[in-house]
């Protein structure tokens, strides 16, 4: 089934009166009178106020027909509500909520996700600023917070499925929040496959759609924690290796056999922890398994990071 495109949803939000079945939203508009939105691979997100809620919300509208969309998001929503983890955002799946006219897809009612709007910066933006300012203590604080978040996720046997620099927000009070749960694994979805394989600069080169279990985030957790540790030791790595789509690693690094310029530099790091984790990453990326042995031990060490 075809879904509306971004332009269709923008038109619907521009003329929002009477289009929503249950919600009474008031979208945010820019100075040109266009709805404020952010687009991803599977959906577009609009910022709005909704009657009955004190704070702004994000209204997520899908541009692709994702398999078992309702079952997945209801499973994720119930799990988030049960776990009440501070780094997860409540989500509400509402079927047949927004009427959209389209020349691409059938005109009609389409589902939306509604969640609290989180004010903050992406992890990538904050890391860039810390590196530019040579703020090793700031990077160390992020490292400890990231390690604690990952350990909690592992303990809860859940996985985000697409951990990367722009799917993590740091709020105005310094808390980490995960966003975008389309690829999320929770035990209730154990019989499903993944709908995506995540950002290539953070994923195991052998990751496939059939990988969908509690080990789904192991590789990206290791990539991010190693990147942070390496940047604490040498913040200039960011300027050298960041492409705007990563922190410092790229998908090419993961198929280099450990012989890329970045790997060669990290293997010679003055920090023995960076060297150790680098060798582990090289070993894991060449393995048939996407799971990372000793990932919990690594994260427990990382949460003790000091400068």
**Contact partners, residue 297, CB within 8 Å, separation at least 6:** none
Reduced to 3 states (helix: H, G, I; strand: E, B; else coil), residue 64 is: coil
As a whole number, mean pLDDT of residues 60-68 equals 94
As a whole number, mean pLDDT of residues 185-201 equals 96
pTM of the model: 0.96
As a whole number, mean pLDDT of residues 34-55 equals 94
As a whole number, mean pLDDT of residues 269-297 equals 98
Domain boundaries, the chain: 6-116, 120-303
Residue 58 host element (H or E): strand 57-62
Query: What was the pLDDT predicted at 33?
Result: 93
Largest CA distance in the chain: 63
**Hey, do 6-116 and 120-303 end up sharing a CATH topology, with the first three levels equal?**
no
Query: What was the pLDDT predicted at 191?
Result: 95
What digits encode the pLDDT tens for the residues 135-172? 999 999 999 999 999 999 999 999 999 999 999 999 99
Say if residue 234's pLDDT is above 90.
yes
Say if residue 55's pLDDT is above 90.
yes
Rounded to 10°, the helix 136-156/218-233 angle is 160
Say if residue 201's pLDDT is above 90.
yes
Q: Which CATH class is domain 6-116?
A: alpha beta
Say if residue 307's pLDDT is above 90.
no
Give residue 287's pLDDT band: very low, low, confident or very high (50, 70, 90). very high
Query: What was the pLDDT predicted at 193?
Result: 96
Rounded Cα distance between 46 and 39, Å, is: 9
- Residue pair 50/57 in contact (Cβ under 8 Å)? The answer is yes
Which residues face 108 on adjacent strands?
100
Chain position carrying tokens 């922890």: 273
Chain position carrying tokens 């690829």: 183
Give residue 68's pLDDT band: very low, low, confident or very high (50, 70, 90). very high
Give residue 235's pLDDT band: very low, low, confident or very high (50, 70, 90). very high
Query: What was the pLDDT predicted at 263?
Result: 98
Mean pLDDT of the chain: 97
Task: Say what percent of the chain tops pLDDT 90.
Answer: 98
Rounded Cα distance between 109 and 91, Å, is: 19
Query: What was the pLDDT predicted at 244?
Result: 96
CATH placement of domain 120-303: 1.10.510.10
Number of H helices, E strands in the chain: 10, 9
Chain position carrying tokens 């290539």: 200
Reduced to 3 states (helix: H, G, I; strand: E, B; else coil), residue 105 is: coil
Query: What was the pLDDT predicted at 41?
Result: 86
Say if residue 1's pLDDT is above 90.
no
């Amino acid at each position: 089934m075809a879904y509306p495109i971004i332009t269709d949803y923008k038109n619907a939000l521009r003329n929002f009166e009477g289009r929503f079945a249950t919600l009474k939203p008031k979208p945010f508009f820019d100075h040109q009178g266009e709805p404020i939105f952010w687009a991803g691979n599977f959906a577009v997100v609009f910022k709005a106020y909704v009657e009955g809620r004190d704070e702004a919300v994000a209204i997520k509208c899908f541009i692709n027909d994702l398999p078992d969309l309702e079952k997945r998001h209801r499973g994720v929503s119930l799990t988030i509500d049960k776990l009440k983890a501070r780094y997860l955002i409540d989500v509400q799946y509402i079927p047949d909520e927004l009427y959209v006219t389209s020349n691409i897809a059938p005109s009609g009612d389409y589902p939306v996700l509604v969640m609290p709007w989180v004010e903050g910066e992406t992890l990538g933006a904050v890391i860039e600023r810390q590196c530019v300012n040579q703020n090793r203590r700031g990077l160390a604080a992020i490292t400890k917070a990231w390690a604690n978040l990952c350990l909690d996720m592992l303990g809860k046997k859940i996985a985000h499925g697409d951990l990367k620099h722009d799917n993590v927000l740091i709020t105005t009070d310094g808390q980490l929040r995960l966003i975008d749960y389309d690829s999320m694994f929770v035990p209730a979805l154990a019989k499903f496959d993944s709908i995506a394989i995540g950002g290539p600069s953070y994923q195991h080169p052998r990751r496939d759609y059939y990988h969908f279990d509690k080990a789904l985030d192991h590789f990206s957790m290791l990539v991010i924690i190693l990147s942070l540790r390496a940047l604490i030791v040498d913040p200039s790595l960011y300027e050298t290796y960041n492409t705007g789509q990563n922190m410092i690693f790229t998908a090419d690094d993961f198929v280099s056999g450990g012989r890329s310029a970045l790997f060669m530099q990290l293997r010679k790091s003055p920090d023995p922890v960076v060297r150790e984790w680098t060798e582990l990453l090289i070993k894991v990326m060449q393995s048939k398994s996407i799971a990372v042995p000793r990932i919990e031990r690594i994260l427990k060490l990382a949460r003790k990071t000091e400068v």
